Amino acid sequence: MQDNGQNLKKILEELRQETVNDRDATKLINQGLSKLTQGVNFDKVVFELNRDLNNYSLVHGFKLPQALIRLKIMLNENPDKWKFAGLTGSI
């Protein structure tokens, strides 16, 4: 699970560079990074990022900047990819 957390953290750091002109998008990304750094449960971070992306879209007339669209697609691309992150299934 830690590998996926590190991957998501890396992705968020890259996206933060692209959203420097959008205060709300930067805040959303910074909150996700902060939670990952604090060791919050990975599934909870993904859930809250999805929720925050939906709220951002609602507040901004259902429009997302390109960076947030990519993040939304990555998070929703394969829900099972994140759901059991780090589990081997060998038990």
31-51 tens-digit pLDDT: 999 999 999 998 899 999 999
Q: Is the pLDDT of residue 70 over 70?
A: yes
Q: How far apart are CA 35 and CA 45, in angstroms?
A: 7
- In Å, how far are 6, 10, 42, 87 from 38, measured between CA atoms? 12, 15, 11, 21
Q: Model-level pTM? A: 0.79
Mean pLDDT of 56-82: 85
Query: What does the pLDDT read at residue 90?
Result: 46
Please name each of the domains of the chain with its CATH number. Answer: 2-82 (1.20.1440)
pLDDT band at 91 (very low <50, low <70, confident <90, very high): very low
Query: What does the pLDDT read at residue 59?
Result: 95
- 8-38: per-residue pLDDT in tens? 999 999 999 999 999 999 999 999 999 999 9
Q: Let me know: does 32 contact 45? Beta carbons within 8 Å.
A: yes
Query: What does the pLDDT read at residue 76?
Result: 85
